[in-house]
Structure 1
């Protein structure tokens, strides 16, 4: 099997850890919350064996990459996109296909929107194209409950809960928003009762899903036991500043070839305004391919549907004439 190697590079003023494999045209894979490069382990190997140079970084504030400190102002969308432009500069590459999941999808969309000269194509998992998000859209808690993102916006609170038992939190988090969780369990994730801790609203499975092993869980827990969750949560907390900074891209079209993939049972589909955002994405992106819906899949697309995702990515790359290295 193809070996994944690791190294550190300088990117946008950060010491960035990357996992990589293969040779050929560059494909960059961007993780979301709460994950790291490891979420792409299956796709790194599959795409490398298909003839591509695949790079999956730990993004700012995650894994073995530098933290930018505890100030959320250092985690804006401009910083995050700049990190990846700095990465491909360091790699000596002019263009990439960028694939992102969750928050990584937002970074991928931003790269395609801001630097179409460097992005040959973009694939986004779970998060639709949304060029300028109002910070108030995160504050939609009903009178008797709390929307989880609004909870995350309070500095110190969420990370203190998560860090009490990192392994247990991740176990519950990965299960609760997966396709294996019952609908009522997944629904309780986004809005939980007032007065309850977020971690207590998550469900602890009797048994891990087949796609998540104890070894996988231990690796992820080790990363967050070292870094804590402040860096990842600061991506959420930069939302008000993002609204100010993204004014130049208000209602911006997305002109790069693009593909959007969604899990049928992903809780994101039930978020306020989701359907409107998807409709706006389709209207704003003339080179968007027909969106793909993976039946029965929850939020963790790379782990829950690795074979379907591999096939979709390779088809997209071939359609771009993004020519792989000859075997």
Structure 2
């Protein structure tokens, strides 16, 4: 379904009944990232709300440069979406950039968040403090900042470089398709340019209030972009209960690689905090 908000219209999948679970994808995905989790959550008695973020997939791509894609804009979209759906209290689950947005939501409306599940990406301060090895894994963050050059490099030879980055993505061809549309790749990259500028990457780790909601961090052994330390150390930035889990035999996109394991972890954690 398409849900019209004050600034954008989002492509959203809403299904099931019961306590609400907001599922937030990252780059360069859409709500299809969660296609294995949604049926399992619905069968277990949860309402799932899985939006495609502005700039991605079939959702709107607003004009206005990087500022139109600042993480705060995404958080605003998600909270407005929940209001349109008359959802008050909810669990939030985020992968990649979606994890960062999940943490932002939990900071803004902690009284409404029953739990937060952070997949792959931990606390920003923990990432920036994780050492040189972690920064090397995130080399692409700086490259993505250069509008025009990044798009040309990534799309050259039928997206050969982006295909390399998506080498372990189970649905790489499907997520590449929206990026072929005019402006599609730029819109998807704007969240990096607004939320992780070069200045942000070089600055001292930000001092943010700890997450006060129950939180679970999930990291996959085969992740090429994030190391385990940044997720383990995220626990130091959580004042609520903290649970850490590893997923074996999976890459960065482990909700697609190991759906049964991910569903098991999610259902266990959500029921603990229902």
TM-score tier (shorter)? 0.7 to 0.9
Q: Over alpha carbons, which structure has the higher Rg?
A: 1
Residues 48-105 of structure 1, C-alpha deviation per residue, up to 9 Å, x if partnerless? Answer: 1111111211101111111122501122121111111111011111111111100011
The residue aligned with 2:91 is: 97
Larger displacement relative to structure 2 (290-299 or 98-107): 290-299
Residues 99-143 of structure 1, C-alpha deviation per residue, up to 9 Å, x if partnerless? Answer: 110001100111111211221111010001226988xx99x988x
Q: Residues of 1 paired with 2:49 and 2:190: CA distance? A: 24
Q: TM-score, normalised by structure 2?
A: 0.85
Q: How does 1:76-87 map to 2 (within 5 A)?
A: 76-87=70-81
The residue aligned with 1:163 is: 155
Q: How does 1:53-68 map to 2 (within 5 A)?
A: 53-68=47-62
Q: How does 1:7-46 map to 2 (within 5 A)?
A: 7-46=1-40
Residue 303 of structure 1 is aligned with which of 253, 256, 259?
Answer: 256
Alpha-carbon offset, residue 38 of structure 1: 1.1
Which secondary structure state, in structure 1, belongs to the residue aligned with residue 36 of structure 2?
Answer: helix
RMSD: 3.0
Q: Residues of 1 paired with 2:7 and 2:190: CA distance? A: 18
Structure 2 unaligned spans of 5+: 201-205
Residue 232 of structure 1 is aligned with which of 166, 188, 200?
Answer: 188
The residue aligned with 1:250 is: 207
Structure 1 unaligned spans of 5+: 1-6, 179-210, 244-248, 322-327
Q: TM-score, normalised by structure 1?
A: 0.72
Summarize the Cα distance change of 1:32–1:242 in structure 2 as closer, same or farther, 3 Å threshold. Answer: farther
Check if 1:129 corresponds to 2:123: yes
Summarize the Cα distance change of 1:149–1:240 in structure 2 as closer, same or farther, 3 Å threshold. Answer: closer
Question: Is contact 1:29-1:55 (8 Å) kept?
Answer: yes
Residue 220 of structure 1 is aligned with which of 175, 187, 203?
Answer: 175
Q: Report the number of matched residues.
A: 265
